[in-house]
Amino acid sequence: MKSIIIYLGTAVLGYLLGDKLKKSDFNISWSGKVQTVAIIVLVFAMGLRMGANKQVTENLNSIGLYALIITITILVFSVIAISIARRLIGLDHRGRKNISKEHSIKQRLEDSKDKINNEHGQKMTKLILISVSAGMATGYFLVDEVFSDINTFETMIGYAITFGLCLLLLFVGLDLGINGTILQSIKDVGLNVLIFPLAVTIGTLVGALVSLIFIPITTREALAIGAGFGWYTLAPGIILESGHITAGAISFMHNIMRELFSILLIPFVGHKFGYIESTGLGGSSNMDVCLPVIEKSTHSDIAVYAFITGIILSLSTTVLVPLFIG
């Protein structure tokens, strides 16, 4: 809950600042480059943390395979579910209400920007892949050599990641405030915005059940693993405390994979399937790690849907995981 308050407060602060700057001639064209650099550094730090974590590197066998299977099925069904939801409430590929003819010129201008954003998204995917790979390699080979106490490293990298996330969320909020269309977007969609976290929840749980075809765990364990929604610091602990050792290990690996794969796939899914669909990948990390990537790869308004989805799924994790695991 503390992290939710911090991240939400930072984004709101950025939005209020952006709303003020919108009325002036202050130029923040440089913010996009700052965000790109910050995302690369943040992803490198995440890779560094994963590479240095022996629980991750030592379980890249059957546990890793099971986690990979459940991650893939959950991501696929989450995207399918949110795509159906988007069409049900009448949003187009860009997450806009189906517009009338008088807006066709504006639509063509926006669609031309899509081509530029698509190229940027492909570049971003490559940069993220390189950064996380370099981070994991560095963490695996060098952290033990530099830090005699791994807990000291974990504390330092934890603070660094939190600071980086707050900085990115400040800029995301700034962009939303300057853009000035967030309130209109929410007004257009209304309470239907809540259909997206519901769709992700349904898609995730269906995907978890489908994975039982390939994974030797119980239905309760599969549902509990899926209900982690990428929150690898909470869900695995709850499952382990209930005495489900294998499921707890799979949950830990799956939630890390969901966050990592989401960061890599957001640009691709956003432009191939739909902007809103990209918010179906990250789960709870939509409100922090994945949010800047979504905002950079799609449109600032989509960050609103992502943030709301992330908050609701994070809160749902605290209820659903204990409920399913029993």
Higher pLDDT, residue 31 or 162: 162
- Whether 61 shows a pLDDT value over 90: the answer reads no
Q: Are 281 and 194 in contact (CB under 8 A)?
A: no
Calculate what percentage of the chain has a pLDDT beyond 90: 24
* Residue-level pLDDT at 2: 67
Least confidently predicted of 53-57, 125-129, 135-139, 232-236: 53-57
- Whether 108 shows a pLDDT value over 60: the answer reads no
Mean pLDDT of 201-229: 95
Q: Give the C-alpha separation, 257 to 16, whole Å.
A: 34
* Residue-level pLDDT at 102: 46
Q: How many domains does the chain divide into?
A: 1
| Residue range(s) defining the domain that contains residue 63 | 2-325
pLDDT, mean over the chain = 82
- With tokens 């695991």, the residue in question is 325
* Residue-level pLDDT at 138: 93
Q: Give the C-alpha separation, 222 to 317, whole Å.
A: 14
Q: What is the distance of C-alpha 269 from the center of its chain?
A: 12
* Residue-level pLDDT at 101: 47
Compute how many other C-beta atoms are within 10 angstroms of the C-beta atom of residue 184.
Answer: 10
* Residue-level pLDDT at 258: 92
* Residue-level pLDDT at 200: 95
Q: What is the distance of C-alpha 162 from the center of its chain?
A: 15
Q: What is the pTM assigned to this prediction?
A: 0.75
Calculate what percentage of the chain has a pLDDT beyond 70: 83
Higher pLDDT, residue 191 or 52: 52
